Amino acid sequence: MKKIDDDLHDRQKRAEGWSQRYIANTRCLITGAGAPGNEVIKDLAQLGVRKMYVVDFDDAVRANLNRCVLL
């Protein structure tokens, strides 16, 4: 028997007109992977986006580590 929590995206699939396949096949370009960019990347991954391109020319420094979940 399938449990409701077995499908990571079950709740969003219930929305009328939602296409998880479309979301999974979407490609995103994120410019900037600082604190806001990290949140965007995390949220897109939780939504189900599988392909993301991240561009950031800055260096990771100790002072930023507390705000960045991906470092």
Enumerate residues 6+ apart whose C-beta is below 8 A from 37: 30, 31, 54, 56
Asked whether the predicted pLDDT for residue 25 surpasses 90, the reply is: yes
Measured distance between the N- and C-terminal CA atoms of the chain, rounded to whole angstroms: 38
Mean pLDDT computed over 13-32: 92
Asked whether the predicted pLDDT for residue 34 surpasses 80, the reply is: yes
Asked whether the predicted pLDDT for residue 67 surpasses 90, the reply is: no
